[in-house]
Each structure stands twice: as C-alpha cells, then as structure tokens.
Structure 1
Amino acid sequence: HDFDEINYFKLDGKKYQWNSDQSGAVGDFELEASFQEFLKEIPFVHDVFKQAYSSSKTLKEAVRKYVHELFGEKGLLIVDGHDAGLKGLFKEVIKSDLIDHTPHKEAVLKTESLETLGYSAQIFPREINFFYLDQGLRERIEKHGDSYLVLNSDLKFSQDEILKLVEDHPERFSPNVVLRPLYQEMILPNLAYLGGPAEVVYWLQLKGVFDHFQTPFPVLLPRNFALILSKEILRKIEKLGWDENSIFMDKEVWKKDFVAKNALSDIQMKKEREQVALLFDIRGKEAESLEKSLKDSFEAAKVRSLKILDQMSDKLRKAEEKRHQIAFSRVDDIEDYLKPNGSPQERVVNMMQFYLADELLIDKLFENFDPMDFRMMVLKYED
C-alpha cells in the first residue's frame, strides 16, 4: 500500500491520522515515538488494536497480530510476501519483466480487447512492473539505455548485474499491481478470487499474463456488499413507513412525491394552469379574427402567465416542505448514515464503529455472509 492510503481512519465523522516521514515498504515502518503519540490520541480504540500496536516494532507485525486475533479462529493464513523463499518462485517472472517486458505486452493486449467491450482500464501496465525493495527504500525500476535505474536513488545496474541480483536476492523485487495478483496465485493457487468492481476488472486485464506464465487463472467473483443499520436508524426508517427496499430509492424524488401526496392544496396548480391556458387560447382565437399577429401576442402572454404560476407553485412546494421538515430531516439523517459524504457506508465507516458496540460483530457477519450471494446485504440490529 501507499502510506497515504492507510495512515488514517475515520470514526463518527472525525479523521484520525498518523504522520511519519519514513520511507520504503509500509509494512516495515517502525512504530516509533510519533506513533506512540498517535496512540495516545485514540484511547477509545479496542484493546485488540491497542495490544497489537503497543507490543510491535513494525506496522506489519502489529497488523499480523490484530488480524490473527480477529480472524485466526476462522482459519485465516497470513503469509509474508517478502520472504526470500517465496520470491524465489517468482524469479522467471521478474527476469521476463525486466528483460522482455512480456507482462506489459500481454496486459496491454488484454486491456485493449476489454476496452472494445466497453470496460474502462483500471490499471496501466509499465514496461517494468517492479519496485526495488531494501531497508527504507521502495522505488520503481526503469530501464534507461542499457542500464537499470532505481528512481530517487543512486542505484544503477547493468543487465548482468540486475539478473544476478534476481538470482541472489529475489526478495528485493516488489511487484506492483500488475504482477502482484500473479505472485499471489503462484504462491497460493485459488479456485476463485473475490474482489470489488474495480478489482474484478483489473484482474481481467491480467488474463493474458497468467496464460503466458502458465498459471491457472481463478474464477472472478464480486465480493459481498453490506449495509449495517443501527437501532436508531431503523426507528427513523419505521417512522417514515419505509422498508429495506425504500432506503435505496432516490431521496429527492421521494421528497417531491411525498409533498405532492400530503400537500394541503394542489401545489402544481393543475386546474389553474388549465384555466389560464384555455382563457388565452380562446381569447387568442377571437383576437386572430381582428388581426393575425394578435394570436402570437396572446400565446406569448400565456407562456409568461404559466411561468408565473410555475414560480408560485415552487413557493407553495417550499412552504409544504417546511411543514414536513421533521420527515425530511429523518430522510437526510438516513441518507447521511447510508452514504457519509456521498460515499457508501462500507467505504467510509471504520469497522471499529460497529466493533466497539458489538464484539460479536465478526461472528455475526460470518453467519450472514454468503460469497455466492451477490446482492447488497442489509444487516439490522433489531434486538
């Protein structure tokens, strides 16, 4: 991961961020003084996370500890992708990428074929899809002429030197998003890969890469999507007379329909509009017999009059909306809960918000999730 992607979390609408000037592989970042100060700013976090971070020297060590604590009993296996033995399985791919740029060629071909089917590219392959990895350093490798350069460093290798480095230290080569899926599947082959919408597309871009290296390509399945409804939100949904399906409708359309159905008067002023239009049409025809141009004048006057009625209709609608402000506030609260700042709950709300309130959260999710059910799951706290 990029550090900027994972150095913060959001809880109850507030952002908590750890700032560090360390560089290199994020997992190797040391949990030094700045992190210990950060921990003091978040005393409310669950003990699972406190213990993991306070007893670890690096970020990856802490993550392994809390992931094991949360999911170890479920059989989750944690593998260190930087292990020299595992990277040794990837030597031929590393060499092919560095010398022949085969992964780039295969990925571009597949990407072009997907684009003809209407899929937008999610990843953009480079000629070399590896970072050079060492203590405090994780930078892209580029070929300039006959030399291989490590960006933002003084490191420079000839072809023979870099090939020898692959043989002696394959762990120093870190795949980017183009080759990480292939590395994963070479280490631990899967029958299926479950991912989000963008992930499924970019895996499809890599089908030719897998075929070239004779690695089985897993079945691609969308991951589960879920929405957790608290008791408070469920009460607001109930007061509006909604059900689970109602929360997915267009809220602005619902507001307009609600006002129209519950208005004290016809806010659209249908009868008045019909009467005004009829009056101008009749008088316009009569006037036409006196002078043809008068019909156009009456038609223009009708349009102006109808616009005035539209303006009055808007004022009536706004007045009715004020009368129904309590209901609309509930709708806004529900929408903000479902989509904080316009984004789906699962992409914004940290799991700790639910885990702090319910330590059985993960067990309950396991009970309800079905990897073969591709619908949005609505999970309710009704007790």
Structure 2
Amino acid sequence: MLKSTVEPECTGQFSPLFIDYIRQQEKLVPFYHAYPTLENFKAVIENRHLEVSKRKVLSQALKAQYEGVDISESVAENIAALESEKTFTVTTGHQLNLFTGPLYFIYKIVSTINLAKQLGEAYPQYRFVPVYWMASEDHDFEEINYFRYEGNKYRWNTHQKGAVGDFALDASMEELLKEVSFVPDFFKEAYRKNTTLAGAVREYVNHLFGEKGLVIVDGHDQQLKELFVPIMKAELLEGKANDLVNAQTQKLEELGYKSQIFPREINFFYLDKGVRSRIVKNAGVYEVLDTEKTFTPEELTKLVAEEPTRFSPNVVLRPLYQECILPNVAYLGGPAEVAYWLQLKGVFDHYDIAYPMIMPRNFAMIKSVKAQRKASALALSDEQLFVDFEELKKDYVQSHAQSDLDLAEEKKALAAVFEQLGVDAAAIDPTLKPAAEAAKVRALKVLAHFGKKLRQGEERNMEVALRRLREVKEMLFPGGAPQERTCNFLEFYLANGHFIEELYGHFDPLDYRYIILVQDA
C-alpha cells in the first residue's frame, strides 16, 4: 500500500469540536491539560503515579484473566512490568463487536500500539504498554450483534440479556460460524473454545495483536472493581459527577459545542446474570429499574464493599474507573469519544485522578484497485472523494457539459432586454415599469426551467460516467457512511495476510490528517 493524506475538514465526518481539538488547541485547553505532542508527554508521565499496591492487583488480575490463553512473551513481559513504577499504559477501548466489527476497531488498536512504541523511543527510561479495554459490561447488544462483509450483513441471533461480555457462546453462535465459513480459523477457534463472548474477543484480539505486546483488560473483575470501591460509594451516595459534568458541559456549550454525554444523578448500572439496569434514587431508597430490587443506603454501601462487580459505571464514570486502575498516560478514541472525555475533566479533578492525554485515533480509507481505476478515469482528486454525491454529480456535469448549464450569459442578456423595455415603457407611462419587471422575472424563470431540462439532458448523455461516480462513492462510503465505519477488515485481510502489519508503517498517532491507503495492483 502507498499512503497519501487529506486534511480532516475534507472528510465531512468530524464534529466542530474535533476540528478545534486539532486546529485551535488554545480554545479548549481548559478542558484538557496539554495538547498531545511527544514533548508534552514529559509532564504527563512525571505526574502520573499509581500506587505499587494497585499495580500488583492489576498485574495479578490480568494474569488471572489470561489464564488458558496462549500469550506471547511480549504480553507476559508487559503484564509483569505493570508492577513497576517505570511502566505506563496507552489505552483505547471498544465494544465486543463480532469478528472485530468495523475497520476502525483495527485502526484504534494499531494507533495505540504505535503510540506506545513512539513514547518508548522518546522516553527510553520508561516502558509503555498498549492496552485494549474491553467494553464487556455494555448491554447494547444491537450495536454489536453483526458484522458486514462484501455487502452482506451477518448477525448473531441470540436473545440473551445483560452485560454482553457474559453472553454464552451457545448453539446460536455455532449456527453463525457455519454461515461465515470464509472467516479464518483463529476466529472459529476463539468462538468455539471459549464459553463467553468476552473470552472469545480476548482470544482473537490476542491472536491479532499479541505479538505487539497488546494487553487486554476486562474491567468486569472483582479485584479491579475493589480498587474503585471508595469512588463507587461516594458517587452512589453523593452523586458529584452529575453536577461536575453539567458544569463542564455548559462551558463547552458556551463555546458552541454540543454535549456528547448526559450524566444522571446516579451513573451506575446494577449487574446480575441477564441484567444490566439503571440504579435510581427515589425518596431515599435505591431502586434497580425493570426489577423489584431496592436498597437502603446502608444495604447499598455494604453490597458495594462485598460485591463491587454488581455495579457497572456508565459512560460518565467508566473513564474514571479505567484511570483509577491503570497507570495510563493517553487515551485514543474516535471523534465522539474525544469530545465526551473533554466533559469529564472536572470529575477527574474532584477525585484527584490523573487525567491522560486525550487523542484522536488514526482515520483511514482504503482505495481498492477497482476504486482507483474508476476514480482515475473520472479524474477525481482525493479531496473530491469526500464530497456529497449530489454535489459531486452537479459539479461533474457542470464541468463536463457541452454548454453553460447556468445560462449565465443568456440570463444576463434577457435581463438587460427587459430592463431596457422598462426604461422605455416608463418614458411613455410610469405605471408600465413594474409590469416590465414582472415580465423579466417570468422570463428568467422560463429560462431557468429550460436550464434544468438542459442539465437533465447532459446527465443522460453522461449516464455511464455518473454511474461510475456513484460506484466509486459506494465503494468508499458504503451506504453513505465512511468505509471504516462499515466494512470489516476481512475484506482486505483475506486477500493480504500482512494487512494489519502494513498499517503499522502508515499510521502515526501524532499526525491528525486523514489517511488514504492505496492498494497495489
């Protein structure tokens, strides 16, 4: 593959907040402590402290989580190294998508691994461990129960409820595996060997990235949740995050940015087998929605201390939990993630938890040989690929038409005729001038209608070219969405087993331009 880049504004998929984060850092500095550059990491590293006792718990918990998984020497060394105060993590997180889900899941992890490598080269006195945080406690199964491959959608049909990481890999998964016979064996082994979705995801992600030392963390863990108990109790009883996030959000909105997350009085779910439901407070009693469970404050705090895994932080507190148990110096995410992390700094400050560098992952598009040929035949630039189809079609027809479709000269001449008629008529009878003006308006409408017919005729003559134009857009933006949010990596990996390895050479997590990768013929 060869690489070229396009500025983020060309893609049409970035929020104003994301653009400002890249382009106008000064405006948003109050919402994060430093702009992500290698030089600025120095202060973040020096100020990031995690107690040795917590580090030991983290390392022990990870060793238990990896039990039965064939790990590389790099992963084993990284897990052991987390006990050292000279070791830090670089983290990304994502849902437990089937067969990795959309391409950007791969991009997130490659960006994270590359950042850890760059930091290690810039600060050789420290060790930097790339981490993938599994969203095993998420309950939005509809977002992850499918993947797309070559235009087809493959779905896991199961009716299980609760935290998706606990979903059993039953006969319904076996049915899906038979349907997707084209997937590599390591996927089949991961889903057949393990009993839960979280176990399968750990298995296949480790297969894809283990040699690079990627450490996979499952936050749904008794030992790790115990480290979060003091904050869990404080939030359940006092609910400080709600006011703190709202205050930060108001400041962002005053700058013209929309909120990405909306806090609640209580930002925890209650977890049990088949259940992940919101906890609400009603007249001093804590209730679990959609169940008959209720707790007094005393009962709730007792349960937190004894069974912290019964409590799952929502999007407002999950980042805080993550940073409470990891010696983390950077978090890489997509546009929405970058935006909502900026709403959270007040919560971090309140609980005296170090706030990491917040960084956008790399964004990329892959131009297949077929897409290249079609785009080249149409003389489309990389920038034009990101233009809305209707606008692109209009511009293409305009630039390739045999005549001026705007009829600018004709309109100018026609207007001049009626304006002169108005002058001449006014000399005879002043009341005739408005009639001439009205006649001009009608005539110009007739001309505009003719221009529309002329454009339609040109479009018919360009039918083949416009069909190819639509095909190019559909290849790179399937269904109108960016390729990386729709296509699965298998569309490229099955044809090129070195696909992921090649991405490492093209992705620079500190370069925020959009990447276009061109397939070799």
SS of the residue 2:286 aligns to: strand
Aligned match of 1:112: 250
Name the amino acid aligned to 2:401.
A
Superposition map of 1:169-318 within 5 A = 169-318=307-456
SS of the residue 2:249 aligns to: helix
Name the amino acid aligned to 1:202.
Y
Aligned match of 2:488: 350
Cα deviation, 1:149-206, whole Å, max 9, x if unaligned, reads: 2222232222222211111111221111111101111111221111111111211111
CA shift at 1:124, angstroms?
1.1
Structure 2 CA distance for partners of 1:14 and 1:291, relative to 1, 3 Å? same
Q: Normalised by the size of structure 1, how large is the TM-score? A: 0.94
More displaced 10-residue stretch of structure 1: 219-228 or 6-15? 6-15
2:195 is the alignment partner of 1:67: no
CA shift at 1:65, angstroms?
0.6
Aligned match of 2:215: 77
2:287 is the alignment partner of 1:161: no
Asked if the contact 1:119–1:201 (Cα under 8 Å) also holds between the matched residues in 2, the reply is no
Structure 2: distance between partners of 1:9 and 1:206: 31
Asked if the contact 2:277–2:289 (Cα under 8 Å) also holds between the matched residues in 1, the reply is yes
CA shift at 1:302, angstroms?
2.2
Structure 2: distance between partners of 1:275 and 1:168: 86
2:498 is the alignment partner of 1:360: yes
Q: CA RMSD in A?
A: 1.8
Structure 2 CA distance for partners of 1:297 and 1:369, relative to 1, 3 Å? same
Give the greater-gyration-radius structure (CA).
Answer: 1
Structure 2: distance between partners of 1:212 and 1:275: 70
CA shift at 1:56, angstroms?
1.7
Structure 2 CA distance for partners of 1:113 and 1:276, relative to 1, 3 Å? closer
Asked if the contact 1:24–1:137 (Cα under 8 Å) also holds between the matched residues in 2, the reply is yes
Q: 1:100 aligns with which of 221, 228, 238?
A: 238
CA shift at 1:251, angstroms?
4.4
Asked if the contact 2:288–2:294 (Cα under 8 Å) also holds between the matched residues in 1, the reply is yes
More displaced 10-residue stretch of structure 1: 251-260 or 335-344? 251-260
SS of the residue 1:191 aligns to: strand
Aligned match of 1:58: 196
Asked if the contact 2:374–2:472 (Cα under 8 Å) also holds between the matched residues in 1, the reply is yes
Structure 2: distance between partners of 1:365 and 1:45: 20
Asked if the contact 2:384–2:392 (Cα under 8 Å) also holds between the matched residues in 1, the reply is no
Structure 1: distance between partners of 2:317 and 2:471: 43
Structure 2: distance between partners of 1:95 and 1:334: 54
Aligned match of 1:125: 263
| Gap regions ≥5 residues in structure 1 | none
Name the amino acid aligned to 1:164.
K
> Which has the bigger relative contact order, CA under 8 A and spacing at least 6?
2
CA shift at 1:254, angstroms?
4.2
CA shift at 1:263, angstroms?
2.7
Superposition map of 1:129-140 within 5 A = 129-140=267-278
Structure 1 runs of 4+ aligned residues shifted over 4 Å read none
CA shift at 1:96, angstroms?
0.3
Structure 2: distance between partners of 1:336 and 1:228: 13
More displaced 10-residue stretch of structure 1: 250-259 or 90-99? 250-259
Aligned match of 1:376: 514
Structure 1: distance between partners of 2:430 and 2:398: 40
Name the amino acid aligned to 1:318.
Q
Structure 2: distance between partners of 1:213 and 1:21: 39
> Aligned residue pairs: how many?
383
Structure 2 CA distance for partners of 1:165 and 1:239, relative to 1, 3 Å? same
More displaced 10-residue stretch of structure 1: 254-263 or 160-169? 254-263
Aligned match of 1:8: 146
Aligned match of 2:6: none
| Gap regions ≥5 residues in structure 2 | 1-137
Name the amino acid aligned to 1:149.
E
More displaced 10-residue stretch of structure 1: 309-318 or 285-294? 285-294
Asked if the contact 1:189–1:216 (Cα under 8 Å) also holds between the matched residues in 2, the reply is no
The share of aligned pairs that are identical, in percent, is 51
Cα deviation, 1:331-368, whole Å, max 9, x if unaligned, reads: 11121222222221111122222222222111111111
